[in-house]
Amino acid sequence: MASVIVLDKLAQEGLDMLEAAPGIDYEVITGLAGDELRETLTRFDGAICRSGVKITADALEGNRRLKAIVRAGVGTDNIDKPAATKAGIVVMNTPAGNTLSTAEHSIALMLALSRNVAPAYQSLIEGRWDRGKFMGTQVAGKTLGVIGLGRIGLAVAERALGLEMRVLGYDPFMTEERAQKLGIELVKTVDEMLPQIDYMTVHTPLTDETRNLIDMAQLEIIKPGARLINCARGGIYNELALVEGLKSGKLAGVALDVYPDEPCTDNPLFGMPGVVCTPHLGASTEEAQTSVATEAVELLTAFLTTGAIRHAVNVAALDPKTLESLRGYLDVAYRLGRLSACAQPSGLSACHLLYRGEIVHEDTKLLTSAFAAGLLEGALDEPVNLVNAEMMLHSRGIELVEESNSDMGAFRSSMAVELSAGGTTKRFSGTLFGKEMPRLVSVDEHRLEAYLDGSMLIFHHQDLPGVIGAVGTTFGEHGVNIAQMAVGRTNPGGEAVGVLNLDGEPSPEAMDAVKALPHITTAQSVCLPKAGELPSWLAG
């Protein structure tokens, strides 16, 4: 049974889906923060949130259970993504479900500003019939500047064109050709837009580039009397500049739905003439909430039950078909990682991976992550999986190089690993027999064929009569049964390698006895998972 926590208010339709999901139980606990949030998160496999809860690095500290956080909405700025990645937690969002509602809210605020809707109603509440005081402006024929032409920005532009506005747009990722087709006049810089616009609306994330996009300097060039709207993220407009702009008359109006710190009930703009503000309501419609809640539940349950990853913001997507078709090789890669960790327990400086044959047409980056997860798993006191393994390896200064060669070599597909440590190298390669039988097919330059699971002994020795028999006898004396044996050598009488698959792990005494045998140069005991012992991200 997987456990899910819902951390912010979620539409009932989403909760109903959680209720009906087989193998999932859930709890709704909102308003969590600090120690209480951290402790609570350790009891769940998955979490669903909106913008309310702040999932900081502190909140994830020491968490060994949580596997996924799904944001029922777009912005994931309330989740510390580097911390989540480090902890091996997938962060996903539902990017499209609230697009139209947020675009409509931006248009609603633009019209509310233009027609003084909020102060006019307030005056009625206060008992005045002030028809002369609230002269408005018509939007038709006016110019709207849209910064950020993604999902919401484009939906706003389309609606503004429907209101007979001229639309200027700025987005470094929009092509001139596409903008033209949509009826948007693309500008090259925000500054180029500012002297021309009557209204401006922003629809970008808050980034180093978009923070303070409108500041004191921009007020100098903006068309006097412009009205600014922000339904994206607080901080894109500098609020102090907005206050100054309104006071000096450079700006005729400001409409905000979002604030640098939320919740926000105390803001210098609140109450100023020409201002209309809402408490982060862009996505707050029944339609948007139903859509993001049901999609969030779908994403999380699919991940928890099949490992499928969609709309992730901190890791590559992984659809169930790819996962299923790659599972066998993910297993080979993970086992080679585990084997490498035993063979080279310290001093590792670089891993070179070579994929050969048909496998090169698959997502080998995933296989590399699986290898890295196997390599690090035993060394770390934190969960390692496809999300964080490569990052963990890099942060330990271990170089990871991936190469592909579509030539098949001896197998339809294979994967070779070269480990470098202090001037020495060790090499292994593996393949998959059938759909689910990982095999070790070489050690250093020696070809052989051994099971890649359970307890193993890998020993280098001189290729002389009686050496292998002596290993068997020694293990026999220590009660270790040999299930399978493989030997590889390059030249008769030269260096050879033996790989034994054992029914149980040899004791330290048995290992010492084998190492003491004549003509044995190295002997390494390796313990790989048996079927049924795989980590959850690999088990399926």
Ligand X SMILES: O=C(O)C(=O)COP(=O)(O)O
**CA 255 – CA 237 distance, rounded (Å):** 11
- Say whether residue 98 binds ligand X (CB under 6 A): yes
For residue 105, indicate whether it is catalytic: no
**CA 338 – CA 441 distance, rounded (Å):** 16
| Cis peptide leading into residue 263 (ω within 30°) | yes
**SS3 of 114, please?**
helix
Q: What are 445's two structure tokens?
A: 């330059």
Nearer to ligand NAI, 15 or 313 (CB): 313
Out of 280, 327, 335, 461, the active site residue is 280
C-alpha distances in Å from residue 213, one per residue of 228, 260, 338, 486: 12, 14, 49, 67
Q: Look-up: residue for tokens 């009930």?
A: 265
Cβ within 8 Å of residue 216, ≥6 positions away: 238, 241, 244
- Say whether residue 170 binds ligand NAI (CB under 6 A): yes
CA atoms within 13 A of residue 355's CA, in its CB half-sphere = 21
**CA 35 – CA 255 distance, rounded (Å):** 36
- Say whether residue 409 binds ligand X (CB under 6 A): no
Q: Applying CB under 6 A, which of residues 46, 47, 51, 537 lies at the interface with ligand X?
A: 51
Q: Applying CB under 6 A, which of residues 63, 210, 340, 344 lies at the interface with ligand NAI?
A: 210
- Say whether residue 301 binds ligand X (CB under 6 A): no
- Say whether residue 74 binds ligand NAI (CB under 6 A): yes
Q: Applying CB under 6 A, which of residues 150, 320, 409, 540 lies at the interface with ligand NAI?
A: 150
- Say whether residue 55 binds ligand X (CB under 6 A): no
**SS3 of 122, please?**
helix
Q: Applying CB under 6 A, which of residues 32, 41, 107, 258 lies at the interface with ligand NAI?
A: 258
- Say whether residue 47 binds ligand X (CB under 6 A): no
Stretch that binds ligand NAI, among 127-135, 200-208, 319-327, 361-369 (CB under 6 A): 200-208
Cβ within 8 Å of residue 49, ≥6 positions away: 6, 7, 8, 55, 69, 70, 71, 72, 78, 79
Q: Applying CB under 6 A, which of residues 45, 171, 377, 453 lies at the interface with ligand NAI?
A: 171
- Say whether residue 50 binds ligand X (CB under 6 A): yes
**CA 62 – CA 86 distance, rounded (Å):** 11
- Say whether residue 203 binds ligand NAI (CB under 6 A): yes
Q: Applying CB under 6 A, which of residues 3, 40, 75, 350 lies at the interface with ligand X?
A: 75
Taking the complex as a whole, the smallest distance from the CB of residue 155 to ligand NAI amounts, in Å, to 8
Stretch that binds ligand X, among 29-37, 53-61, 68-76, 319-327 (CB under 6 A): 68-76
Taking the complex as a whole, the smallest distance from the CB of residue 314 to ligand NAI amounts, in Å, to 15
For residue 396, indicate whether it is catalytic: no
Taking the complex as a whole, the smallest distance from the CB of residue 10 to ligand X amounts, in Å, to 9
Q: Applying CB under 6 A, which of residues 205, 409, 472, 535 lies at the interface with ligand NAI?
A: 205
- Say whether residue 102 binds ligand NAI (CB under 6 A): yes
Cβ within 8 Å of residue 346, ≥6 positions away: 421
C-alpha distances in Å from residue 306, one per residue of 62, 245, 319: 25, 53, 9
Out of 233, 439, 446, 461, the active site residue is 233
Instruction: Kindly report the backbone phi and psi dihedral angles of residue 353, in degrees, each rounded to the nearest multiple of 5, phi listed first.
Output: -110, 135
Q: Applying CB under 6 A, which of residues 149, 186, 452, 456 lies at the interface with ligand NAI?
A: 149
Q: How many residues bind to ligand NAI according to rule CB under 6 A?
A: 32
Nearer to ligand X, 137 or 278 (CB): 278
Q: Look-up: residue for tokens 């502190």?
A: 58
Q: Applying CB under 6 A, which of residues 14, 153, 169, 245 lies at the interface with ligand NAI?
A: 153
List the end-to-end C-alpha distance of the chain, in Å, as a whole number: 14
Stretch that binds ligand X, among 72-80, 209-217, 219-227, 475-483 (CB under 6 A): 72-80
Nearer to ligand NAI, 238 or 368 (CB): 238
- Say whether residue 153 binds ligand X (CB under 6 A): no
Nearer to ligand NAI, 211 or 427 (CB): 211
**SS3 of 527, please?**
strand
Taking the complex as a whole, the smallest distance from the CB of residue 149 to ligand NAI amounts, in Å, to 5
**CA 491 – CA 468 distance, rounded (Å):** 16
Residue 224's CB is within 10 A of a number of other CB atoms, namely 12
For residue 377, indicate whether it is catalytic: no
**CA 275 – CA 256 distance, rounded (Å):** 8
C-alpha distances in Å from residue 177, one per residue of 162, 203, 257: 20, 20, 32
**Alpha carbon 484 to its chain's center:** 41
- Say whether residue 95 binds ligand NAI (CB under 6 A): yes
Nearer to ligand NAI, 73 or 253 (CB): 73
Question: Which single residue brings its beta carbon nearest to ligand NAI?
Answer: 150
Nearer to ligand X, 75 or 119 (CB): 75
Where b means 16+ CB within 10 Å and e means fewer, 467-499 reads: bbebbeebbeeeebeeeebbbbbeeeeebbbbb
Stretch that binds ligand X, among 279-287, 360-368, 413-421, 493-501 (CB under 6 A): 279-287
Q: Give me the residues that bind ligand NAI (CB under 6 A), please.
A: 73-75, 95, 98-99, 102, 147-153, 170-173, 203-205, 207, 209-210, 231-233, 257-258, 280, 282-283
| Catalytic machinery residues | 233, 262, 280
Q: Give me the residues that bind ligand X (CB under 6 A), please.
A: 50-52, 73-75, 98, 280, 282-284
